């Protein structure tokens, strides 16, 4: 692999590793694919930072367009972004999606070499964050971000603060509680061992010491570590509802009380070992459940797509304003490539809006003066002036998130909570029956010990553990295959789904493998002419086409003109040449299709470059495997690909085209009202509403670091084929949980046999609990692996 | 056997010290990022700086 890399190195860009075009840039005997990559190299070599290239081959990323950073001069926005500010120093944390290797860490932690006003910078690699402390008197925030941009590490500053959201995702208190519980369990076990082995006569003096020590340790175990169980039980009882925490809280209370009584009255050693062990294991299970992926965010909404500020025009002067402060009537100044943050009316300029965020349709839409442009549209041509008619929070697109119908209304009860009710009822019946029996026998001591023992022994601890252990084992199988599920609860939802809805563009088709097709006739000479023209444009389509043309020389051109987003024209060797959108063509062409880049050389129509998206490989087999489910396709696109979909899907699949985001959402809602559990697969912001509404929303992406809308799981495009296996494994997972529940009941029956007789010795309880726990944990782990192998996932 | 009273006290005290150490480490954020320091320690600043200087001149 390594050797391969080295031999290939001279055909790759030294900075970013892209294939070198035939005309390449050259500096200090290194080759570069574009001016951007070369510029980064020059900055780094001027600052003596070339080690960047030592740790990894081609560590850089291709340079992107410059962005407008004027808003970073606004004090209000600066204050919003900074973590900390003191006299002359400030600290800020940025999320930088481009961080991907050790070279990135090295370079970003040596920022002080580029600018001495930067004191230090520290990277958190998994979170892709860098924390920079700098002297804000010497370097402004804007300059700092510009410095990062120059070396190819553009921070992502969006309305939804990714940095601050991440930091709150881990429950710190839980980890501390686990530490305390572990400490308590270890010590209590130590002091309980003498009791297990039996104490000889002269050691009896220690019995009460150990008893009191154990009792002391039980207090924090019950009331600090186990506190959440009590609060959760009380709230659920207030709502006349029993969840799994209710019996757990009861057991913790009973264990503690009985330990306290036995120690205080000197009647026995108590159950401190069982209590602390139980609390420790329960907290471990809880931690497994909370664990989530550092580097993936599942709760993104429109705010992470929106910039933090927008340029407004105030008395003809440009002024950056934070998006939250945009009011109705404000004039917005939207440049090429910028996003319209609020519904607005076009006042000035020529608008070619890329509405793919909203509709999924990627061809730009032409808007005329006075027309409403919805939030989420991206301007692709010249700068335009807009007047806001709705604040950001009430725009058409953001309305998707403010919809009240979201699934909170649907009762989400997992297996545990539904079983907990019957479980608690059964335990109480047995406990009261045993107490009643011993009371009738006039043995009040045995009645009390039988009552407490039944409750202790019938601990649904296994129930609380088997679910997180099984499901987190399944999660780790999934994530090795490129399927990242939000949490363990979501896996249960996945298993219940019976209806699957697919989006078309980007989900069934792949954006990465799009191929460039030329329809028409073009000579090699003309190819060079076209490439020479397109070379001057930064439009992604132009770059794609140049790559596809792969010519070895360029001509110089004159009279170059570009209407951003629409087309280019220039004169080459006396020939006038035009490339761009159909509506801009100097000649009338009847046969050509709407989309694509059309070429006209010397007033003769040559043809058109079109991007054809490719269907993801293995699609047909996957659909075949999914035939047990109700399938549906909702596409925002036109029905030009209908014949293809008809060939893949069976006849009873509903296929709808030209679906707006709201229609997609309504379709999901309708199915849910019909009692279906809906899984939605989508990729863009236009599917976001449906993804959120569905019982299990999967966002498809070709690059896991790309932005994905809020969802329950993120699936790599290449792993789509495994979808039927993923669903099957999640169903098997529920089977495992139910089986382990049966095993636990068997253990409980043994325990209850002793308990009802009032003869449960603490040692039996202390041994029974770990044995049943170990059995369950090993059973769930092994069974999950077995099922995963059966489904060919490992 | 009375020495046991002392030893038990010692063992509990030791355990408490370790627990406190963990609390301190956790609260000061030492466990926040367990991945990056492993990579960072492999960078060798001094030697690397000289080497790059040579590269620079020789090229």
Rounded to a whole number of angstroms, the distance from the CA of A175 to the nearest CA of chain B is 9
Instruction: For residue A105, give the nearest of B4, B40, B59 by CB distance.
Output: B40
B19 vs A: CB within 8 A:
yes
Task: Give me the residue label for tokens 């697109």.
Answer: A397
Q: pLDDT, tens digit, for every residue of A158-175? A: 776 655 655 555 578 899
Tally A–B CB contacts below 8 A: 69
Helices (H), A127-244: 141-150, 162-167, 172-197, 204-220, 227-238
Q: Are A553 and A528 in contact (CB under 8 A)?
A: yes
Report ipTM (2 d.p.): 0.79
Confidence of residue B18 (pLDDT cuts 50, 70, 90): very high
* A2 pLDDT higher than 50: no
Mean pLDDT (whole number) for A744-749: 84
Which among A129-133, A591-595, A699-703 has the top mean pLDDT? A129-133
Confidence of residue B49 (pLDDT cuts 50, 70, 90): very low
CA A59 and chain centroid, separation: 25
Instruction: For residue B39, give the nearest of A45, A105, A187 by CB distance.
Output: A105
Question: Would you call A176 and B33 a contact, using CB atoms and an 8 Å cutoff?
Answer: no
Q: Spell out the residues 6+ positions from residue A326 whose beta carbon is closer than 8 angstroms to its own.
A: A310, A312, A332, A341, A342, A388, A391, A392
What is the number of other CB atoms lying within 10 angstroms of the CB of residue A465? 23
Instruction: For residue B56, give the nearest of A50, A126, A205 by CB distance.
Output: A50
CA A634 and chain centroid, separation: 23
By CB atoms closer than 10 A (0-12, 13-18, 19+), residue A271 is buried
Rounded to a whole number of angstroms, the distance from the CA of A207 to the nearest CA of chain B is 12
**Antiparallel, parallel or unpaired: β A597-601 and A604-615:** antiparallel
Residue of B nearest to A45 (CA): B56
Confidence of residue B11 (pLDDT cuts 50, 70, 90): very high
Would you state the pLDDT for residue A5? 45
Q: Are A48 and A39 in contact (CB under 8 A)?
A: no
- Which of A210-224, A379-393, A557-571, A779-793 is the least confident region? A557-571
* A615 pLDDT higher than 70: yes
| Cα–Cα–Cα angle for A261, A263, A265, rounded to 5 degrees | 65
* A24 pLDDT higher than 80: no
Instruction: For residue B19, give the nearest of A55, A124, A183 by CB distance.
Output: A183
Would you state the pLDDT for residue A564? 62
* A154 pLDDT higher than 80: yes
Residue of A nearest to B47 (CA): A51
Instruction: For residue A179, give the nearest of B19, B32, B53 by CB distance.
Output: B19
Question: Would you call A123 and B36 a contact, using CB atoms and an 8 Å cutoff?
Answer: yes
The Cα A783–Cα A732 span in angstroms is 9
Helices (H), A501-595: 524-534, 540-549
Q: Percentages helix, strand, coil for chain B, rounded to the nearest 5?
A: 75, 0, 25
Q: Spell out the residues 6+ positions from residue B10 whose beta carbon is closer than 8 angstroms to its own.
A: none
**Antiparallel, parallel or unpaired: β A696-701 and A678-682:** parallel
Q: What are phi and psi of A129, to 5 degrees?
A: -120, 150
Q: pLDDT, tens digit, for every residue of A498-513? A: 999 998 877 888 766 6
Residue of B nearest to A55 (CA): B43
In this structure, what token pair is assigned to residue A122?
């520290």
Instruction: For residue A126, give the nearest of B35, B52, B59 by CB distance.
Output: B35
* A114 pLDDT higher than 50: yes
Residues of A in contact with B55 (CB under 8 A): 50
What own/partner pairs with CB < 8 Å and gap ≥ 24 does A604-609 have? A605/A520, A606/A520, A606/A521, A606/A522, A606/A526, A607/A518, A607/A519, A607/A520, A607/A521, A607/A522, A608/A518, A608/A519, A608/A520, A609/A516, A609/A517, A609/A518, A609/A541, A609/A545, A609/A548
Q: Are A159 and A307 in contact (CB under 8 A)?
A: yes
- Which of A325-334, A504-513, B24-33 is the least confident region? A504-513
A171 vs B: CB within 8 A:
no
Residue of A nearest to B41 (CA): A106
Residues of A in contact with B33 (CB under 8 A): 124-127
Question: Would you call B26 and A176 a contact, using CB atoms and an 8 Å cutoff?
Answer: yes
By CB atoms closer than 10 A (0-12, 13-18, 19+), residue A298 is buried
B17 vs A: CB within 8 A:
no
A173 vs B: CB within 8 A:
no
Confidence of residue A10 (pLDDT cuts 50, 70, 90): low
Residues of B in contact with A176 (CB under 8 A): 23, 26
Would you state the pLDDT for residue A589? 66
Rounded to a whole number of angstroms, the distance from the CA of B30 to the nearest CA of chain A is 12
Instruction: For residue A206, give the nearest of B4, B15, B31 by CB distance.
Output: B4
Rounded to a whole number of angstroms, the distance from the CA of A92 to the nearest CA of chain B is 17
DSSP conformation letters of A88-120 = TEEEEEEE-TT--SHHHHHHHTTHHHH-TTEEE
A415-440 helix and A444-457 helix, angle to the nearest 10 degrees: 170
Q: What are phi and psi of A3, to 5 degrees?
A: -60, -45
A362 forms beta bridges with none
Instruction: For residue B23, give the nearest of A176, A190, A213 by CB distance.
Output: A176
A265 vs B: CB within 8 A:
no
In this structure, what token pair is assigned to residue A310?
């927008």
The Cα A743–Cα A460 span in angstroms is 12
The Cα A187–Cα A659 span in angstroms is 63
Distances (CA, A) of A493 to A299, A378, A486, A735, A778: 17, 35, 11, 14, 24
Cα dihedral A712→A717→A718→A721 (10° resolution): 70
**Antiparallel, parallel or unpaired: β A499-503 and A678-682:** parallel
Residues 194-223 of A with CB under 8 A from B: 202-203, 205-206, 209, 213
Region at A51 (left for phi over 0; alpha for psi -120 to 50; beta for the rest):
alpha
Q: What kind and span of H or E run contains A322?
A: strand A317-322
Mean pLDDT (whole number) for B50-56: 46
Residues of B in contact with A190 (CB under 8 A): 11
Burial annotation A217-232 (CB, 10 A radius, 16+ → b, else e): bbebbbeebbebbbeb
Mean pLDDT (whole number) for A240-246: 82
Q: pLDDT, tens digit, for every residue of A359-392? A: 666 667 778 888 888 887 888 777 888 898 888 7
Residues of A in contact with B57 (CB under 8 A): none
Residues of B in contact with A175 (CB under 8 A): 26, 31
The Cα A214–Cα A185 span in angstroms is 10
A50 vs B: CB within 8 A:
yes
Tell me what percent of the residues of chain A surpass a pLDDT of 70: 88
Which among A247-251, A321-325, A771-775, B54-58 has the top mean pLDDT? A247-251
Pick from A249, A291, A751, A244: which is nearest to A465 by CA? A244
The Cα A144–Cα A121 span in angstroms is 12
A272-290 helix and A245-264 helix, angle to the nearest 10 degrees: 150
Would you state the pLDDT for residue B51? 45
Residues of B in contact with A186 (CB under 8 A): 15
B1 vs A: CB within 8 A:
yes
Residues 24-43 of B with CB under 8 A from A: 26, 31-33, 35-36, 39-40, 42-43
- Which of A165-174, A226-235, B47-56 is the least confident region? B47-56
* A546 pLDDT higher than 90: no
Distances (CA, A) of A141 to A136, A544, A731: 7, 35, 51
Helix, coil or strand: residue A739: helix
Helices (H), A131-171: 141-150, 162-167
A172 vs B: CB within 8 A:
yes
Q: What kind and span of H or E run contains A353?
A: strand A351-354
Would you state the pLDDT for residue A343? 87
Instruction: For residue B52, give the nearest of A50, A109, A213 by CB distance.
Output: A50
A696 forms beta bridges with A679
Most B CBs within 10 A among A59, A179, A287, hence the mutation to make, goes to A179
Instruction: For residue B59, give the nearest of A28, A126, A179 by CB distance.
Output: A28
Task: Give me the residue label for tokens 């000061």.
Answer: B28
Confidence of residue A229 (pLDDT cuts 50, 70, 90): very high
In this structure, what token pair is assigned to residue A26?
């050259």
Would you state the pLDDT for residue A360? 60
Would you state the pLDDT for residue A76? 80
- Which of A105-119, A589-603, A713-727 is the least confident region? A589-603
The Cα A196–Cα A207 span in angstroms is 12
Distances (CA, A) of A564 to A249, A352, A512, A537, B45: 65, 9, 24, 9, 46
B14 vs A: CB within 8 A:
no
* A238 pLDDT higher than 70: yes
B57 vs A: CB within 8 A:
no
Q: What is the mean pLDDT of chain A?
A: 81
Would you state the pLDDT for residue A586? 67
Confidence of residue A315 (pLDDT cuts 50, 70, 90): confident
The Cα B45–Cα B50 span in angstroms is 9
Most A CBs within 10 A among B31, B35, B37, B41, hence the mutation to make, goes to B35
Pick from A319, A313, A343, A298: which is nearest to A160 by CA? A298
Q: What are phi and psi of A571, to 5 degrees?
A: -115, 130
Would you state the pLDDT for residue A410? 47
Mean pLDDT (whole number) for A582-587: 70
Question: Would you call B19 and A203 a contact, using CB atoms and an 8 Å cutoff?
Answer: no
A234 vs B: CB within 8 A:
no
Question: Would you call B26 and A172 a contact, using CB atoms and an 8 Å cutoff?
Answer: yes
A762-790 helix and A461-480 helix, angle to the nearest 10 degrees: 30
* A432 pLDDT higher than 50: yes
Would you state the pLDDT for residue A162? 57
Would you state the pLDDT for residue A8? 46
Q: What are phi and psi of A301, to 5 degrees?
A: -130, -165
Question: Would you call A179 and B22 a contact, using CB atoms and an 8 Å cutoff?
Answer: yes
Cα dihedral A666→A667→A669→A675 (10° resolution): 160
DSSP conformation letters of A255-299 = HHHHHHHHHHTTS---SHHHHHHHHHHHHHHHHHHH---SS--S-
Q: pLDDT, tens digit, for every residue of A688-741? A: 888 888 889 998 887 766 667 778 888 988 889 899 999 999 999 999 988 988
Would you state the pLDDT for residue A400? 67
Tell me what percent of the residues of chain A surpass a pLDDT of 90: 13
Residues 88-107 of A with CB under 8 A from B: 102, 105-106
Question: Would you call B36 and A124 a contact, using CB atoms and an 8 Å cutoff?
Answer: yes
Query: How many separate helices (H) and strands (E) can be counted in chain A?
Result: 28, 28
Q: What are phi and psi of A754, to 5 degrees?
A: -75, -40
Q: Are A450 and A756 in contact (CB under 8 A)?
A: yes
Mean pLDDT (whole number) for A193-210: 77
Would you state the pLDDT for residue A276? 93
Say how many CA atoms lie within 13 Å of A547 toward its Cβ. 15
Residues in chain B: 59
Rounded to a whole number of angstroms, the distance from the CA of A267 to the nearest CA of chain B is 22
């Amino acid at each position: 692999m390594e050797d391969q890399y080295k031999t290939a190195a001279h055909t790759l860009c030294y900075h970013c590793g892209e294939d070198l075009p035939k005309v390449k840039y050259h500096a200090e005997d290194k080759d570069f694919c574009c001016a951007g990559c070369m510029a980064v190299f020059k900055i780094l070599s001027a600052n003596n930072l070339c080690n960047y290239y030592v740790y990894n081959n081609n560590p850089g990323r291709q340079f992107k367009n410059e962005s407008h950073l004027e808003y970073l001069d606004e004090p209000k926005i600066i204050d919003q972004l900074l973590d900390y500010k003191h006299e002359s120093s400030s600290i800020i944390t940025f999320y930088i999606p481009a961080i991907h290797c050790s070279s990135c860490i090295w370079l970003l932690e040596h920022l002080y070499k580029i600018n001495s006003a930067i004191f230090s910078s520290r990277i958190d690699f998994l979170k892709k964050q860098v924390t920079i402390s700098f002297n804000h008197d010497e370097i402004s925030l804007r300059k700092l971000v510009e410095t990062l941009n120059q070396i190819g590490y553009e921070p992502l500053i969006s309305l939804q603060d990714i940095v601050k959201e991440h930091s709150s995702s881990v429950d710190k208190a839980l980890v501390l509680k686990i530490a305390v519980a572990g400490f308590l369990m270890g010590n209590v076990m130590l002091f309980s061992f003498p009791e297990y082995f039996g104490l000889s006569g002269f050691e009896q003096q220690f019995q009460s010491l150990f008893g009191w020590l154990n009792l002391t340790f039980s207090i924090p175990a019950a009331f600090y570590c186990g506190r959440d169980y009590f609060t959760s039980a009380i709230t659920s009882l207030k709502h006349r509802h029993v969840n799994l925490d209710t019996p757990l809280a009861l057991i913790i209370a009973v264990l503690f009380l009985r330990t306290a009584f036995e120690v205080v009255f000197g009647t026995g050693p108590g159950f401190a070992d069982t209590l602390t062990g139980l609390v420790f294991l329960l907290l471990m299970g809880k931690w497994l459940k909370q664990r989530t992926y550092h580097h993936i965010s599942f709760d993104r909404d429109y705010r992470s797509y929106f910039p933090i500020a927008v340029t407004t025009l105030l008395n003809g002067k440009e002024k950056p304003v934070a998006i939250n402060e945009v009011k109705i009537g404000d004039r917005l100044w939207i440049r090429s490539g910028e996003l319209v943050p609020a519904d607005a009316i076009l006042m000035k300029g020529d608008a070619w809006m890329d509405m793919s965020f909203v509709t999924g349709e990627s061809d730009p839409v032409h808007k005329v003066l006075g027309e409403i442009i919805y939030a989420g549209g991206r301007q692709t041509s010249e700068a335009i002036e807009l007047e806001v008619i709705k604040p950001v929070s009430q725009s058409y697109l953001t309305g998707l998130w403010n919809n009240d119908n979201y699934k909170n209304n649907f009762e989400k009860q997992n297996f545990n909570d539904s079983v907990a009710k019957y479980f608690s009822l059964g335990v109480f019946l047995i406990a009261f029956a045993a107490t009643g029996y011993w009371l009738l026998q006039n043995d009040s001591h045995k009645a009390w010990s039988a009552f407490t023992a039944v409750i202790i022994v019938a601990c649904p601890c296994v129930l609380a553990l088997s679910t997180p252990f099984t499901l987190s084992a399944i999660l780790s199988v999934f994530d090795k295959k490129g399927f990242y599920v939000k949490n363990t609860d979501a896996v249960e939802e996945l298993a219940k789904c019976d209806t699957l809805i697919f989006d078309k563009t980007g989900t069934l088709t792949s954006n990465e493998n799009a191929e460039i097709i030329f329809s028409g006739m073009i000579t090699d000479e003309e190819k060079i002419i076209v490439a020479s023209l397109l070379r001057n444009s930064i439009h992604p389509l132009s770059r794609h086409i140049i790559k596809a043309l792969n010519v070895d020389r360029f001509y110089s051109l004159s009279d170059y003109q570009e209407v951003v987003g629409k087309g280019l024209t220039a004169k080459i060797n006396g020939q006038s040449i035009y490339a761009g959108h159909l509506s801009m063509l100097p000649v009338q062409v009847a046969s050509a299709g709407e989309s694509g880049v059309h070429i006209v050389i010397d007033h003769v129509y040559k043809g058109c470059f079109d991007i054809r998206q490719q269907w993801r490989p293995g699609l047909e087999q996957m659909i075949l495997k999914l035939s047990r489910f109700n399938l549906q396709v909702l596409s925002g696109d036109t029905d030009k690909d209908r014949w293809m979909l008809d060939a893949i899907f069976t006849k009873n699949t509903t296929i709808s085209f030209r679906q707006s985001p709201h229609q997609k959402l309504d379709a999901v809602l309708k199915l849910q009202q019909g009692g279906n559990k809906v899984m939605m697969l989508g990729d863009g912001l236009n599917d976001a509403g449906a993804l959120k509404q569905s019982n299990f929303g999967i966002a498809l992406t070709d690059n896991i670091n790309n932005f994905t809308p809020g969802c329950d799981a993120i699936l790599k495009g290449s792993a789509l084929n495994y979808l039927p296996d993923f669903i099957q494994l999640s169903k098997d997972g529920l089977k495992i949980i139910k089986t382990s529940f049966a095993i636990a009941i068997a253990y409980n029956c043994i325990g209850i046999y002793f308990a009802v007789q009032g003869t449960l010795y603490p040692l039996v309880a202390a041994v029974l609990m770990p044995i049943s726990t170990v059995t369950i944990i090993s059973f769930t782990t092994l069974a999950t692996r077995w099922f995963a192998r059966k489904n060919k996932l490992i | 056997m009375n020495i046991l009273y002392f030893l038990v006290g010692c063992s509990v005290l030791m355990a408490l010290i370790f627990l406190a150490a963990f609390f301190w480490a956790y609260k000061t954020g030492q466990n926040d990022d367990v991945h990056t320091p492993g990579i960072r320690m492999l960078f060798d600043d001094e030697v690397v700086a000289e080497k790059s200087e040579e590269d620079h001149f020789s090229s």
